[in-house]
C-alpha cells in the first residue's frame, strides 16, 4: 500500500492575516479520534500540502481505546462517491440536499461531493481494498435516494473494517504521526481571549472569546491523568448512539468530544436530528440488519404475528427508513416496548425455496448477518428474529465553518461529531464516511495553515429550503447546564445511571417525540447532569497522580494524595465520564427537539406532524 500523500486538486484555507500575536513557531496539533475523520485529519497534517507551500509536520493522534475501534470500523454498506463516468458531484449534491429535508448548507454539500470524490480516488490509489470486478474495475452499489449507482464498498458488507484497517495502517507507517491509544480526552483546556484588545478585532467580530490550549487526558490503561499542551485540537470523536438502549454504534460512541466542546463554550447545532435505523437485532449488540433483507422479501410482524407495514405505506417494508423506523417504534410501544419481528422465512416463500434452499441462500447472500444471528442462538431460516429501531447516525454536532473551524480559536471538528451543514435534517445513505474523508482532511490542512489568530467564518444557518419568512436564529440560544449536585449519591452504580440516561432518551427523545415527553426528559436529564457531573468529579479525584515523565508537554493535574486506581476504578471512571457526556448532550438534544415545533427529516413530533417552511434553518446552542 502506498502512502496517502498530498494532492493538488483542492484549495487550501486562506492564510489568516490578523495582527493578533500568536504562539511563535509551528503549531502543536492534536487529533482526537482515529475513525475516518481523525485519520484523514492526521494524515493531512503529517503530509501537508507541499504544492501550496505547506509542509507537513508532527501531529499527535489520540484515541480512547484501540486504534481501530470506532463507528468507522463497523460501517457496512460503503462510501458514496461521484467517481464514475455516468455521475457528477453536482448530481450527488442534489441527492444530498433532497435527503437533508431543506436544512443542508449548499456550499458545504458542494465541497463534500467534489472533494469527497477526490479523496475516495486517493484511497483507491493508495491501495485500500475496495471490491472490484474480475477485470479490476470497481464494483458499485445503488442505495436508497441516490440517483446514480455510486456506492463503493469493500469486503462485501465490511467496508468500514477494511477502510479503517487499511488507512490506520498507513497512519501507523507515517513517521510524523505519534499515536496514543487508550487515552480518554476528558476536557479541553482553553483560555479567554482579551476581546477588548485592538488586536482581537477578528475574534470579536466572529464572536470568538476563547482559544484552545490543550486537552486533559485520562489514561485508561493506568488511570493516570495529565494535560497535553497544544494550540490546535481537531475533534473527530464520532457519534453518540450510546445515548439510547438500542443503537448500532459501538461502546466508544458516547459523544465525548461534543460534550467537551460544549463545556468549553463551543456552539453546537442540529442536535434534534438523530437518524434511527429501522432494523437492528433486538438483543446483543443490536447488530444492524440491512434494508437488503427486506429488499429480498422479509416481512415485519408484531407479537401477534400481524404484518403491519402493508397498512402504513404502499411500499410496505420497503418504505423509506424513517417511515419503517417510526412504525416499528409504535408497534413496540403498543406491545410493552418489546421488539417487533423480522420474518426472513417470507423470503423462502417468495422465492419458492425449501428449507435447505433458504438456509443456503441466507448464508450466501447475508454472510455477516447470518453468522451474527446464529451466534445469538437464532436460526432465521426457520423463525422470525426480534428487531428494533436503533440510533444510528447523529446529523447534528459541533458547529463549524467549511474549514472545520469552530467558535473556539484553534479548535476544529470533523466527521460525525461535527455539524458542517452537509447532513441537514437527515443523512443520505453512505455520505458519512465521505464527510469524514473530505472534512477530516480540511480540518488537518486548516490546523496546519491557520495562524494563531485565525478564527472561524461561519456560514449562514439558513437551509437550502429557506424562504423569505424563514426565521434565522443567528444568535445562539443559551442553555445553562446545571452544576454538580453535591448532595447526590456519588456511589450510585455508573451502569444504573447509564440505564437511566438511555431509557430517558429512548422514551422522551427517541424515534417519536412530543412536548410532554420532551419536557419530562428535559427535567430528568437536568437531574442526571447534576448527578453525573458530581460522579465524574468524584471518580477522577480517586485516580492516581501521573508523574511528570517527559519534561515537555505533560503536567500533573491530580492531587498527589490520590489512591492508586484498580481496574474497576478505571472502568467505573470511564463510565462516569461517559455518563456525564451523554447526560449533557442528551439534555441539549431534548432542548433543541422541544424548540423545533415541526417535523422535518429525522425529527418526528407527533404534536407537530407537518413541516413548517418557516423553520428551514438550523438553530445553534451555546452553554449559558
Ligand X SMILES: Cc1cc2nc3c(=O)[nH]c(=O)nc-3n(C[C@H](O)[C@H](O)[C@H](O)COP(=O)(O)OP(=O)(O)OC[C@H]3O[C@@H](n4cnc5c(N)ncnc54)[C@H](O)[C@@H]3O)c2cc1C
Catalytic annotation, residues = 321
User: Distance between CA atoms of 32 and 160, rounded to whole angstroms?
Assistant: 19
The SS3 of residue 611 is: coil
- Compare residues 393 and 456 and give the one whose CB is closer to ligand X: 393
Neighbours of 121 (CB within 10 A): 14
Size of the site for ligand X (CB under 6 A): 44
Q: How far is the CB of 505 from ligand X (least distance, A)?
A: 17
By CB under 6 A, which span of 95-103, 129-137, 250-258, 321-329 interacts with ligand X? 250-258
- Binding flag, residue 249, ligand X (CB under 6 A): yes
Question: What DSSP assignment string belongs to 106-144?
Answer: HHHHHHHHHHHHHHHHHHHHTT----B-TTSPBP-B--T
Nearest C-alpha neighbor of 188 from the set 215, 155, 228: 215
Chain center to CA of 327:
25
Instruction: Tell me how far, at minimum, the Cβ of 286 lies from ligand X, in Å.
Output: 9
Q: Sign of dihedral through CA atoms 434, 250, 397, 463?
A: positive
Q: For ligand X, which residue of 160, 278, 508, 510 counts as binding (CB under 6 A)?
A: 160
> Cell numbers 469486503 correspond to what residue?
155
Interface residue with ligand X among 256, 272, 401, 530 (CB under 6 A) is 256
- Alpha helices for 265-304 (secondary structure H): 291-295
Closer CB to ligand X, 184 or 378, in the complex: 184
DSSP 8-state class, residue 317? G
Site string for ligand X, 400-439 (x = CB under 6 A): ---------------xx-------------xxxx--x---
The reply to whether 30 sits near ligand X by the rule CB under 6 A is no
Contact residue for ligand X among 234, 288, 369, 594 (CB under 6 A): 288
Task: Answer yes or no whether residue 270 interacts with ligand X by CB under 6 A.
Answer: no
Site for ligand X in 83-122 (CB under 6 A): none
- Least distance from C-beta 209 to ligand X, angstroms? 24
480 vs 422: CA distance, rounded Å = 28
Query: Is residue 592 a contact point for ligand X (CB under 6 A)?
Result: no
453 exposure class (CB count in 10 Å sphere: 0-12, 13-18, 19+): buried
Instruction: Supply the minimum distance, in Å, between the C-beta of residue 148 and ligand X.
Output: 16
Q: Residue 34 interacts with ligand X (CB under 6 A)? A: yes
Binding residue for ligand X, selected from 4, 30, 31, 36, defined by CB under 6 A: 36
Q: For residues 559 and 561, give the distance between their C-alpha atoms in angstroms, rounded to a whole number.
A: 5
Q: Tell whether residue 177 is a contact of ligand X (CB under 6 A).
A: no
The grid coordinates of residue 44 equal 493531512
**Contact 370/358 with Cβ under 8 angstroms?**
no
Query: Does 389 contact ligand X by CB under 6 A?
Result: no
Is 33 a binding residue for ligand X by CB under 6 A? The answer is yes
CA–CA separation, 4 and 6 (whole Å)? 7
The residue with its CB nearest to ligand X is 35
Select the residue interacting with ligand X from 184, 273, 308, 378 (CB under 6 A).
Answer: 184
The least distance separating ligand X from the CB of residue 435, rounded to whole angstroms, comes to: 8
Rounded to whole angstroms, the Cα distance separating 562 from 543 reads: 6
Minimum CB separation of residue 69 from ligand X in Å reads 6
Q: Which is nearer to ligand X, 37 or 200 (CB)?
A: 37
Assess 590 for contact with ligand X (CB under 6 A). Answer: no
> Based on CB atoms, which residue is closest to ligand X, 54 or 417?
417
Is position 63 an interface residue for ligand X (rule: CB under 6 A)?
yes
What string of DSSP letters covers 30-42?
Answer: EEE--SHHHHHHH
According to CB under 6 A, which one of 78, 89, 141, 278 is a site residue for ligand X? 78
Asked if 116 and 437 count as a contact pair (C-beta separation under 8 A), the reply is yes
Contact criterion met (CB below 8 Å) for 268 and 396: yes
Per-residue CA distances from 273 to 397, 498, 561, 606 (Å):
10, 21, 44, 15
For residue 77, give the 3-state DSSP assignment: coil
The packing angle between helices 89-99 and 106-125, to 10°, is 130
In sequence order, what are the beta bridge partners of 138?
132
Q: Does 62 engage in binding with ligand X (CB under 6 A)?
A: yes
Minimum gap (Å) between residue 437 Cβ and ligand X: 9
Least distance between ligand X and beta carbon 426 (Å)? 13
User: By CB under 6 A, is residue 74 in contact with ligand X?
Assistant: yes
Among 13, 48, 56, 77, binds ligand X (CB under 6 A): 77
CA distances from 310 to 169, 278, 325, 342 (A): 47, 16, 14, 14
Q: Which of 29, 31, 32, 154 binds ligand X (CB under 6 A)?
A: 32
321 forms part of the interface with ligand X (CB under 6 A): no
Q: How far apart are CA 293 and CA 302, in angstroms?
A: 17
Shortest distance, CB of residue 280 to ligand X, whole angstroms? 8
Does 154 help bind ligand X (rule: CB under 6 A)?
Answer: no
Choose which of 13, 22, 27, 38 interacts with ligand X (CB under 6 A).
38
Stretch that binds ligand X, among 232-240, 313-321, 593-601, 615-623 (CB under 6 A): 232-240
Q: All 3 cell numbers of residue 196?
A: 477588548
Interaction between residue 65 and ligand X (CB under 6 A) = yes
Strand partners, 61: 31, 179
Instruction: Sort residue 227 into left (φ over 0), alpha (ψ -120 to 50) or beta.
Output: beta
**Residue 236, interface with ligand X (CB under 6 A)?**
yes
Query: Which residues would be at the binding site for ligand X (CB under 6 A)?
Result: 32-38, 62-65, 69-72, 74-79, 159-160, 184-185, 236-239, 248-249, 252-253, 256-257, 288, 393, 415-416, 430-433, 436
Amino acid at each position: 500500500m502506498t502512502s496517502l500523500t498530498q494532492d493538488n486538486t483542492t484549495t487550501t484555507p486562506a492564510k489568516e492575516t490578523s495582527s493578533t500575536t500568536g504562539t511563535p513557531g509551528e503549531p502543536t496539533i492534536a487529533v482526537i479520534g482515529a475513525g475516518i475523520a481523525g485519520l484523514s485529519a492526521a494524515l493531512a497534517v503529517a503530509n501537508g500540502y507541499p504544492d501550496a507551500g505547506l509542509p507537513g509536520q508532527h501531529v499527535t493522534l489520540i484515541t480512547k481505546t484501540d486504534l481501530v475501534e470506532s463507528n468507522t470500523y463497523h460501517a457496512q454498506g460503503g462510501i458514496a462517491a461521484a467517481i464514475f463516468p455516468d455521475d457528477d458531484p453536482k448530481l450527488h449534491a442534489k441527492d444530498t440536499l433532497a435527503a437533508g429535508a431543506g436544512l443542508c448548507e449548499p456550499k458545504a454539500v458542494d465541497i463534500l461531493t467534489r472533494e469527497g470524490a477526490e479523496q475516495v480516488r486517493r484511497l483507491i490509489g493508495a491501495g485500500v481494498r475496495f471490491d472490484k470486478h474480475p477485470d479490476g474495475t470497481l464494483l458499485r452499489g445503488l442505495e436508497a435516494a441516490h440517483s446514480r449507482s455510486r456506492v463503493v464498498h469493500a469486503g462485501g458488507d465490511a467496508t468500514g473494517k477494511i477502510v479503517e484497517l487499511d488507512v490506520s495502517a498507513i497512519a501507523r507507517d507515517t513517521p510524523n504521526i505519534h499515536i496514543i491509544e487508550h487515552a480518554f480526552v476528558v476536557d479541553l483546556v482553553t483560555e479567554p481571549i482579551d476581546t477588548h484588545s485592538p488586536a482581537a478585532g477578528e475574534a470579536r467580530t466572529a464572536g470568538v472569546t476563547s482559544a484552545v490550549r490543550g486537552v486533559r487526558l485520562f489514561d485508561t490503561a493506568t488511570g493516570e491523568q495529565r494535560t497535553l499542551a497544544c494550540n490546535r485540537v481537531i475533534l473527530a470523536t464520532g457519534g453518540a448512539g450510546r445515548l439510547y438502549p438500542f443503537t448500532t454504534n459501538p461502546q466508544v460512541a458516547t459523544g465525548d468530544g461534543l460534550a467537551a466542546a460544549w463545556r468549553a463554550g463551543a456552539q453546537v447545532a442540529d442536535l434534534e436530528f438523530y437518524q434511527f435505523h429501522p432494523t437492528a437485532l433486538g438483543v446483543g449488540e443490536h447488530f444492524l440488519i440491512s434494508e437488503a433483507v427486506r429488499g429480498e422479501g422479509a416481512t415485519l410482524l408484531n407479537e401477534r404475528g400481524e404484518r403491519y407495514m402493508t397498512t402504513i405505506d404502499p411500499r410496505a417494508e420497503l418504505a423509506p427508513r424513517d417511515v419503517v423506523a417510526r412504525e416499528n417504534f409504535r408497534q413496540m410501544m403498543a406491545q410493552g416496548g418489546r421488539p417487533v419481528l423480522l420474518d426472513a422465512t417470507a423470503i423462502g416463500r417468495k422465492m419458492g425455496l425449501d428449507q435447505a434452499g433458504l438456509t443456503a441462500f441466507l448464508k450466501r447472500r447475508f454472510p455477516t448477518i447470518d453468522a451474527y444471528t446464529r451466534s445469538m442462538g437464532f436460526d432465521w431460516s426457520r423463525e422470525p428474529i426480534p428487531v428494533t429501531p436503533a440510533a444510528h447516525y447523529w446529523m447534528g454536532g459541533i458547529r463549524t465553518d467549511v474549514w472545520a473551524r469552530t467558535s473556539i480559536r484553534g479548535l476544529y471538528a470533523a466527521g460525525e461529531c461535527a455539524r458542517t451543514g452537509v447532513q441537514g435534517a437527515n443523512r443520505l445513505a453512505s455520505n458519512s464516511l465521505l464527510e469524514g474523508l473530505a472534512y477530516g482532511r480540511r480540518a488537518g490542512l486548516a490546523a496546519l495553515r491557520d495562524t494563531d489568530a485565525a478564527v472561524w467564518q461561519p456560514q449562514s444557518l439558513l437551509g437550502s429550503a429557506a424562504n423569505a419568512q424563514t426565521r434565522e436564529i443567528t444568535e445562539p440560544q443559551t442553555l445553562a447546564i446545571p452544576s454538580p449536585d453535591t448532595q447526590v449519591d456519588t456511589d450510585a452504580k455508573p451502569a444504573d445511571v447509564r440505564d437511566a440516561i438511555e431509557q430517558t432518551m429512548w422514551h422522551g427523545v427517541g424515534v417519536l417525540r412530543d412536548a410532554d415527553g420532551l419536557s419530562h426528559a428535559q427535567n430528568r436529564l437536568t437531574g442526571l447532569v447534576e448527578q453525573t457531573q458530581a460522579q465524574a468529579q468524584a471518580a477522577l479525584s480517586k485516580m492516581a497522580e501521573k508523574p511528570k515523565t517527559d519534561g515537555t508537554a505533560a503536567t500533573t493535574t491530580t492531587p498527589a494524595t490520590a489512591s492508586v486506581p484498580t481496574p474497576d476504578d478505571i472502568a467505573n471512571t470511564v463510565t462516569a465520564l461517559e455518563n456525564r457526556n451523554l447526560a449533557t448532550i442528551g439534555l441539549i438534544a431534548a432542548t433543541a427537539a422541544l424548540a423545533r415545533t415541526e417535523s422535518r427529516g429525522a425529527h418526528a413530533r407527533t404534536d407537530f406532524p407537518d413541516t413548517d417552511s418557516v423553520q428551514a434553518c438550523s438553530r445553534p446552542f451555546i452553554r449559558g
